[in-house]
Amino acid sequence: MLDVCLLGTGGMMPLPYRWLTALMVRCSGSNLLIDCGEGTQIALKEKGWSPKPVDVICFTHYHADHISGLPGLLLTMGNAERTEPITMIGPKGLERVVTALRTIAPELPFPLEFIELTEPRQQLQIGPYVIDAYRVNHNVTCYGYSISIPRKGRFDVERARAQEIPQKFWSRLQKGETIVDELQGKTYLPEMVMGAQRKGIKLTYCTDTRPTQSIVDNAMHSDLFICEGMYGEKDKDGLVQSYFPSSRGIKTARYTLALYIDRKTKQLKKSLLFDDVNDPYQLNNLPLDENKEVVEQLYREMGTMLKEIDDPWYTEKILSDRIPY
């Protein structure tokens, strides 16, 4: 089982209800965090997750919107009386960058262990996670990550019986333990009774990158692929077009609304509306026309928010027939 939460998806500056880049996954009592932008702790509180079990923090790169939330997070973990070490993974220069940020968080009750990435692709195994780091194309050194949870093969009862392995050892062998039976003078190995490894769970994540073959290669066979890119498409002359956001959304205490437009026509292409209280996993996309009162209130709040930050949607009055700017 792998729990996944996008704590922050904003770029460059935090917005109301949208914090800067951070992704957390949980598995077997261990938490792994990718990036730690401003507002990460607030998003954790809103989600009801604790930062204390975070064992691994991976950084894609060292722009402020991907790492500026780290000092506060470390202090919170220290105040929670954490003493176990935290492993940090990132491009070359990781220890130098974190040491500089720790000027305002100098004393921690737990050690930090650094793994600096130097190769185009590196694989690490930490706790329940197999971590594949792969280099992508940003204007600074930047990595994407694939997080895999291996899945053991099935226990083969017939093989265990055929080899006359006592049943009292079966559960221990299934957990991967080697058994030495001194009374019988025999040694039992897990591979004697375990089948071939089954397909596990794989999540691939990358951010702030141009399209690269490394993304294609690492996203292959993923159960979930999360990819963000800040770069526009090329025009007929091969020049990159100016970036214009094709989606905007708002999250309140109860509802999440996301709107997607066609970049050419600037008309609504898709909408997502979720009742996060009754549908916390966001499995049921509610029709806008059947929830007019809720939607109109969300439109009003979104319009106010976009106007306050002078968002491109406000300046170009995108979907002004719906959103009252």
- 239 falls within a domain: no
* DSSP state at residue 196: P
| pLDDT at res. 18 | 83
233 occurs within a structural domain: no
CA 169 to chain centre: 38
Reduce the DSSP state of residue 117 to 3 states and report it.
strand
Specify the pLDDT at position 322.
Answer: 95
Same domain assignment for residues 185 and 201:
no
Contacts within 8 Å (CB) and 24+ apart, 270-279: 273/298, 276/251
Residues 6+ apart with CB under 8 A from 296: none
The pLDDT tens digits of the residues spanning 5-58 come to 999 988 777 777 788 999 999 998 899 999 999 999 999 999 999 989 999 999
What six digits make up the tokens of 258?
Answer: 């996301």
pTM: 0.65
Asked if the model's pLDDT at residue 239 lies above 70, the reply is no
232 found inside a domain: no
**Structure confidence at residue 115 as a pLDDT band (50, 70, 90):** very high
Place of tokens 């026509």: 265
- Is there a single domain that holds both residue 167 and residue 86? no
| Angle at 64 (CA atoms; ends 46, 313), nearest 5 degrees | 70
In the prediction, which pLDDT does 135 show?
Answer: 92
- 3-class secondary structure, 235: coil
Query: What residues are annotated to the active site?
Result: 65
Q: Percent of the chain scored above 90 by pLDDT?
A: 56
CATH number at 20 reads 3.60.15.10
Pairing between strand 198-206 and 186-188? Answer: unpaired
Q: What does the pLDDT look like over 154-204, one tens digit per residue? A: 888 888 888 888 888 888 888 888 888 877 788 888 888 887 777 789 999
Supply the pLDDT for residue 234: 58
- Same domain? For 185 and 205 the reply is no
pLDDT number for residue 300 = 95
- Same domain assignment for residues 177 and 307: no
Mean pLDDT over the full length of the chain: 88
H or E stretch covering 292: helix 292-308
Domain that holds residue 167: 157-192
What contacts 283, CB < 8 A, 6 or more positions away? none
Whether 318 has a pLDDT exceeding 70, the answer reads yes
Cβ neighbours, 10 Å, residue 64:
13
With respect to residue 234, please indicate whether it lies within any of the assigned structural domains.
no
In a domain, 238, yes or no: no
Judgement on whether residues 35 and 166 belong to the same structural domain of the protein: no
In the prediction, which pLDDT does 169 show? 86
Q: What is the pLDDT, as a whole number, of residue 69?
A: 95
Note every long-range contact of 154-160, with CB atoms under 8 Å and residues 24 or more positions apart, other chains counting: 154/194, 154/195, 154/198, 155/193, 155/194, 155/195, 156/193, 156/194, 156/195, 159/192, 159/193, 160/192, 160/193
Q: How confident is the model at residue 84 (pLDDT cuts 50, 70, 90)?
A: very high
Q: Is residue 322 part of a domain?
A: no
pLDDT over threshold 60, residue 95? yes
Residue 199: the pLDDT is: 77
Give the chain's domain count.
Answer: 3
Percentage of the chain beyond pLDDT 70 is 95
- The full length of the chain comes to 325
- Looking at the structure, do residues 147 and 202 belong to the same domain, yes or no? yes
